[in-house]
Amino acid sequence: MTSTLNRPRAADTTVSNTPGAPVVPTKDLRGAKPASWLRRHGAGLAWLLPVLAIAAVVQAFNMDGSPQRIDDEGTYTAQAWAIQNLGEIAHYTYWYDHPPVGWLQISAYTALTGAFSRYDVAVLAAREAMLFFTLVSVVLVWFLGRKLGLSRPAAAVAGLVFAVSPLALQFHRTVYLDNVATPWLLAAFVFALSKRYQLAGFAAASLSFGIAVLSKETYLLALPFLAWMMWRGADKATRRYTLSIAASLLVLVGLGYVALAAVKGELLPGAGRVSLLEGIQFQLATREASGSVFDTGSLFFATVSQWWQLDQVLIVLGTLASIVAVFVKKLRPLGVMMVFLIAFMFRPGGYLPVPYVIMLLPFAALLVAAVTDHAVKAFRARRSGALSTAATRTGSVAWLALTLAAVVAIVPLWAVQLRGFLDSDLDAPMRNAETWVETNVPKDSRLLVDDAVWVDLVKAGFSRENVIWFYKIDTDGAVQAQSPNGWRDSDYLFETESVRTSGAGSADIRDALANSTVVATFGEGDQQVNIRQIDSQGEAQAQTEADDAASARSQAGAELAQNPNLQISSTLRTALSDGRLDPRAIIVLGQLAAMGPISVADPQALPGEQEALFRQFDVTPQGGQSVDELRSTLEGLGSVYVPESVVPSGDGLQVTFSAVAPSGVLSN
């Protein structure tokens, strides 16, 4: 018997069945696999990885500053947050306006990464998820380009344009369901081009496309072109079988959404409930049209103008590349799809979603790169003497000249636009307004808000039922039941551009705007955010009360200004006479001056309160009492008059009253 000590160890060798064949060390095979993989894919990685790195940096840098948060972002963020924290599919009644798969994926990302706990602003957690989905899309743009026969440099250019075009960056940073759907759509086309394992590839394409559509329903428009690509590439011997399997899987995925509605008893309309059918009718039939591109006041014109302002070059070049691609056999399905999607925008009476362009971006970038790659190859063939038609030769030269002109135009255009994304802080008004509300508004107040701040305010301590997304005040039965008097049951309105525009269609929001007073303002123009205190008694009564209060402040202030123990400048004397001081400040300054001489510095408006009453001032004793005695007096005042804070300031104290003053202070 041979000793086991003399046998070769299985871990070190592989035994060959071929007589006389050498024994190959297994560890060499193990090391050879990654080395072999790197040799085969190293060149591709050398092109792809730098593009990914650039995309990650450009997307992530200053994503908290630009663009400013919008209402739609807050909605998808709040829905994702509700899944994790409330165990509900949405933070309000889910009414089938969109399938939930999109924000389920956002919720999955934020749950796995702990993103909501890492940001004070909830929307930023969802923007981080957008970064992830965008990077996945960049990789898939690369793979799709290579599947279509693009050279490595051309595929890399496609990924780079898709990642860093200002038009792409604006929408990739924004929390849109389209960004979640895009990698699934790209994956569907990549799988559709499978040759070696076609059945598995077609099945994966159908599943990917189904998830794309359940992430954003408008992606269903790509179905005919995906089917065309699969039909064209299918093996004729098994075409019927593979396409039948693919179609069946796609139908099953779609039926999953129908099953959700059926299980909840919300498939068909009924009294007191939402339904899938009503959601579909809203999206396809009853939604207000966007108008005409020739109407400068239409939503269509505003949407397309925004796209155009961000990147005219990519829009023009992408459209031309789509037309050219129709005449290039390997690119034809994507070219026809792009021409169809562009033409679809101009259908009469249709609604054009603002993020519709997100679906077009990867294919525009791909086709620009593909047509350019095709032209370069045709030009090289001509140089080498290969046969080609005069039209091909002329077309390739013309396209290369156009591309060169586009590159020259892109450099200054992109430089200006990208600088804005990387160094501007357009979201500062939103953050500052949020901080003001969290600091100054009582936690038992009822707020009408832009959905972009809904999660933040709930996390800050406001009751979920008291933070009302303005859109729901007259569209959600549950909210209406809690607000039987509509806008009158709310205390404050968080006014943003979304409230000013989208809210214009709501009678409650129009009334809330008309019957409220601005108490704090941040930013300007479209970025301006106003905090409004709602006057539940109505505008006329509120104006009467405001005039009476102003008259009382003016009279009391003028009397206080005559006090010989009060040392003030002419500026403050005028402010007192004009009734610009908080009524509590007038009473308290009178009490302090009665105890001994004091000087009061000119008051400065607190951030956002340039038009509001002065409620902060610096007071310094001028004899007769010490700073400590002054502090003791201030802190011992009754609940109506006690300041919110008293802190040292120079030789005296800085006194700040709360933003919400009790009514009738000067008449008490």
pLDDT at 9: 43
pLDDT at 370: 96
Query: Which regions of 407-555 does DSSP assign to beta strands (E)?
Result: 447-449, 467-469, 492-495, 516-522, 529-534
User: Structure tokens of 217?
Assistant: 């329903």
The residue length of the chain stands at 668
Distance CA 119, CA 126 (A): 10
Query: Which regions of 424-545 does DSSP assign to beta strands (E)?
Result: 447-449, 467-469, 492-495, 516-522, 529-534
Of the pLDDT bands very low, low, confident and very high (cuts 50, 70, 90), residue 28 is: low
pLDDT at 18 over 70: no
Coil/strand/helix, residue 482: helix
Q: What angle do CA 533, 449, 436 make, to 5 degrees?
A: 60
pLDDT at 309 over 70: yes
For the segment 152-163, the average pLDDT, to the nearest whole number, is: 97
Task: Provide the mean pLDDT of the chain.
Answer: 90
Distance CA 182, CA 248 (A): 22
pLDDT at 10 over 70: no
Q: What angle do CA 65, 71, 73 make, to 5 degrees?
A: 65
pLDDT at 11 over 60: no
Burial 341-362 (b: 16+ CB within 10 A, else e): bbeebeeeeebbbbbbbbbbbb
For the segment 448-453, the average pLDDT, to the nearest whole number, is: 97
pLDDT at 388: 59
Of the pLDDT bands very low, low, confident and very high (cuts 50, 70, 90), residue 364 is: very high
pLDDT digits 0-9 by tens, 208-256: 999 999 999 999 999 999 999 999 999 999 999 999 999 999 999 999 9
Helical H runs in 61-121? 71-85, 101-113, 115-118
pLDDT at 663: 75
pLDDT at 8: 44
For the segment 122-130, the average pLDDT, to the nearest whole number, is: 98
Cα torsion at 376, 183, 231, 373 (round to 10°)? 0
Distance CA 638, CA 636 (A): 7
For the segment 551-566, the average pLDDT, to the nearest whole number, is: 93
pLDDT digits 0-9 by tens, 365-392: 999 999 999 998 887 776 555 545 666 7
Distance CA 317, CA 366 (A): 11
Burial class (CB in 10 A: 0-12, 13-18, 19+), 335: buried
Is residue 597 within 8 A of residue 619, CB to CB? The reply is: no
User: Structure tokens of 144?
Assistant: 């799709």
Of the pLDDT bands very low, low, confident and very high (cuts 50, 70, 90), residue 4 is: very low
Write the CA distances from 374 to 158, 367, 406, 547, 591, integer angstroms.
13, 10, 17, 74, 85
pLDDT digits 0-9 by tens, 381-425: 765 555 456 667 778 888 999 999 999 999 999 999 999 999 999
Q: List the one residue out of 156, 195, 148, 196 whose CA is nearest residue 43.
A: 156
pLDDT at 504: 87
Distance CA 73, CA 498 (A): 11
User: Structure tokens of 521?
Assistant: 């303002």
